[in-house]
């Protein structure tokens, strides 16, 4: 059963139960109130008869005649009956089994429980159903000259019960009309309340089919509106995660393809030359040239495997950070970098300031080596590679600058991807695999640092690593 159907049925059921109970209570209360009022009136009229009889009892005692008593009581009864002739009232006066007066037009019941026992100065009443009528019997006892006279005053209260039945019939008609109207209104309300939920269900199905950009449109500010907003936030997070997973999957596929490609080229050369030397009689010079090629390609494979292992380890993020002076780390790497620059006929210019940074010194050295190596590959002979640093508010920035070929703007966004090469021919000739900057990015992330690149083709490149710095005293760039 759908949610709107549950709301619809349960609300109608609740309405029917409450409406019927309330209506029955009102009808019964009104009927009981009117019946009690009628009983009080009949008891009052019975008491007035008893009072009238009581006023003439002294006279009847004087005469002490049965005929006189009968005449007096009959006159009192007739006056009362004539006075209330239009009210469906009946009066019976009896003494023992002898009837003194009666205008009753129905058969009196044999069992008169209200008379057993009946004491003087006491009025009793009882309701009886006789001949499809409801009659109210009131009885009292008067003692005259040693004889007990029973006064039975009967009032037809059938109209009260007919009125109750008419109210019930009217209520049934009103109940049917009210339920039909309520059912129509609740149908519209329940459908309206659950319409946003239906939209969310349809949107969820669309998202499940792969259209992750789909969103539910809700304008309400109630709980359902909040649910819709949270649903959209969840869908957005799911979409971002899916896009990220797809991107990671594509990167992994490209990573595997690049590894395969990078391994295939040197292996092809090694296998080709080894097979040539194995199957062909060659001169000593050809043998040495072949062995040089095999050695060179093997070293390239070794370098590639080392860089791949570094990349994997750095991306796992396992490092113990300590507070170290950045300037000391740079100075420790300076001699090795100067030697490497001299081999390529380049000049290394170091202009750095002091600053304590939480780091793994060995990994930061790897970062510096890779940045400087990339700068050297991009520079021509007699070029200058600059390593400089400065402190800012809350940061320590390390920059490596070159004045080489530069990087076109369309390549900057992909620069830190594994195996990405701006100039593949130049990188291959220098035994590069496009892993250096990816390794630098992983090291920076391990230190909570960010990397920035500024480059102009033909003018050079600046790669900046911004480390978090705890000393907020600040400092001017040197």
Cβ contacts of residue 321 below 8 Å, gap of 6+?
A: 358, 359, 360, 447
Q: How confident is the model at residue 310 (pLDDT cuts 50, 70, 90)?
A: low
> By the 8 A CB rule, do 330 and 352 touch?
yes
Stretch 43-47: mean pLDDT: 87
Stretch 173-189: mean pLDDT: 91
Q: How confident is the model at residue 340 (pLDDT cuts 50, 70, 90)?
A: confident
In-domain check, residue 365: yes
The CA-atom distances, in angstroms, between 199 and each of 73, 216, 217, 227, 448 are 87, 7, 8, 12, 43
In-domain check, residue 110: yes
Q: Which residue has the higher pLDDT, 219 or 430?
A: 219
In-domain check, residue 21: yes
Q: What integer pLDDT is reported at residue 136 of this predicted model?
A: 93
DSSP character string of 298-318: HHHHHHHHHHHHHHHHHHHT-
Distance (Å, whole) CA 198 – CA 75: 84
Stretch 242-262: mean pLDDT: 74
> pLDDT tens digit string along 452-477?
999 988 889 999 999 997 554 444 33
Distance (Å, whole) CA 419 – CA 436: 9
Stretch 166-178: mean pLDDT: 93
Q: How confident is the model at residue 350 (pLDDT cuts 50, 70, 90)?
A: very high
In-domain check, residue 359: yes
Phi, psi of 448 (to 5 degrees): 70, 20
Q: How confident is the model at residue 262 (pLDDT cuts 50, 70, 90)?
A: low
In-domain check, residue 111: yes
Q: Is 456 helix (H, G, I), strand (E, B) or coil?
A: strand
Q: Could you tell me what percent of the chain has a pLDDT over 70? A: 87
Q: What integer pLDDT is reported at residue 421 of this predicted model?
A: 60
Q: How confident is the model at residue 361 (pLDDT cuts 50, 70, 90)?
A: confident
In-domain check, residue 347: yes
Q: What tokens were used for 209? A: 């089919």
Q: Which of 135, 164, 193 is at the close of a domain?
A: 164
Query: What's the alpha-carbon Rg for the chain, to the nearest Å?
Result: 56
Number of alpha carbons in the 13 Å side-chain half-sphere of residue 360: 16
DSSP character string of 340-384: HHHHTT-EEEEE----EEEE-HHHHHHHHHHHHHHHHHHS-TT-E
Domain count, the chain: 2
Q: What tokens were used for 399? A: 């920059």
Q: Which residue has the higher pLDDT, 339 or 137?
A: 137
Q: Which of 143, 164, 185 is at the close of a domain?
A: 164
Q: State which residues form the domain around 436.
A: 317-468
| CATH code, 367 | 3.30.565.10
Supply the mean pLDDT for the chain. 82
DSSP character string of 89-123: EEEEEEETTEEEEE---SPPPS--GGGTT--TT-E
Residue 4: is its pLDDT beyond 60? Answer: yes
| Total-model pTM | 0.49
Weakest-pLDDT range from 29-33, 192-196, 376-380: 192-196
Q: Could you tell me what percent of the chain has a pLDDT over 90? A: 25
Q: How confident is the model at residue 339 (pLDDT cuts 50, 70, 90)?
A: confident
Q: What integer pLDDT is reported at residue 171 of this predicted model?
A: 92
Weakest-pLDDT range from 56-70, 98-112, 367-381: 56-70
Residue 320: is its pLDDT beyond 90? Answer: no
Q: Which of 131, 164, 197 is at the close of a domain?
A: 164
Stretch 190-206: mean pLDDT: 82
| CATH code, 142 | 3.30.450
The CA-atom distances, in angstroms, between 90 and each of 4, 74, 230, 344, 459 are 61, 13, 79, 138, 128
In-domain check, residue 193: no
> pLDDT tens digit string along 107-137?
888 888 888 888 877 888 999 999 889 999 9
């Amino acid at each position: 059963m759908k949610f709107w159907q549950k709301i619809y049925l349960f609300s109608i059921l609740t309405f029917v139960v409450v409406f019927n109970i309330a209506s029955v209570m009102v009808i019964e209360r009104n009927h009981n109130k009117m019946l009690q009022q009628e009983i009080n009136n009949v008891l009052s009229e019975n008491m007035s008869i008893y009072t009238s009889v009581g006023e003439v009892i002294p006279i009847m005692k004087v005469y002490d005649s049965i005929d006189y008593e009968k005449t007096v009581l009959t006159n009192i009864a007739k006056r009362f009956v004539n006075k209330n002739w239009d009210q469906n009232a009946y009066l019976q006066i009896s003494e023992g089994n002898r009837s003194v007066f009666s205008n009753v037009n129905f058969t009196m019941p044999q069992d008169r429980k209200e008379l057993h026992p009946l004491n003087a100065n006491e009025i009793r009443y009882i309701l009886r159903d006789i001949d499809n009528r409801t009659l109210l019997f009131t009885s009292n006892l008067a003692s005259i000259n040693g004889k007990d006279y029973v006064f039975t005053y009967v009032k037809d209260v059938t109209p009260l019960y007919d009125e109750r039945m008419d109210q019930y019939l009217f209520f049934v008609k009103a109940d049917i009309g009210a339920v039909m109207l309520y059912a129509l209104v609740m149908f519209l309300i329940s459908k309206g309340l659950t319409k946003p939920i239906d939209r969310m269900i349809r949107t969820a199905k669309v998202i499940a089919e792969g259209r992750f950009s789909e969103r539910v449109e809700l304008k309400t500010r109630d709980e359902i509106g909040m649910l819709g907003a949270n649903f959209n936030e969840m869908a957005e997070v799911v979409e971002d995660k899916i896009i990220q997973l797809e991107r990671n999957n594509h990167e992994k596929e490209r990573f595997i393809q690049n590894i395969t490609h990078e391994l295939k080229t040197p292996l092809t050369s090694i296998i080709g030359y080894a097979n040539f030397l194995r199957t062909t009689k060659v001169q000593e010079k050809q043998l040495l040239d072949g062995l040089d090629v095999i050695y060179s390609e093997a070293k390239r494979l070794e370098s590639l495997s080392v860089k791949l292992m570094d990349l994997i380890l750095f991306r796992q993020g396992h490092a113990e950070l300590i507070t170290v002076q950045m300037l000391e780390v740079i100075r420790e790497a300076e001699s090795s970098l100067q030697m490497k620059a001299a081999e390529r006929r380049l000049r290394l210019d170091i202009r750095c300031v002091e600053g304590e940074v939480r780091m793994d010194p060995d990994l930061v050295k790897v970062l510096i080596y890779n940045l400087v190596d990339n700068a050297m590959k991009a520079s021509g002979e007699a070029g200058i590679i600059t390593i400089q640093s400065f402190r800012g508010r809350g940061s320590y920035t390390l920059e490596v600058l070159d004045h080489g070929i530069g990087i076109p703007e369309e390549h900057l966004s992909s620069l830190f991807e594994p195996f990405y090469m701006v100039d593949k021919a130049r990188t291959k000739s220098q035994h590069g695999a496009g892993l250096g900057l990816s390794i630098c990015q992983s090291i920076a992330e391990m230190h909570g640092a960010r990397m920035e690149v500024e480059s102009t083709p033909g003018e050079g490149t600046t790669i900046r690593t911004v480390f978090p710095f705890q000393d907020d005293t600040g400092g001017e760039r040197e």
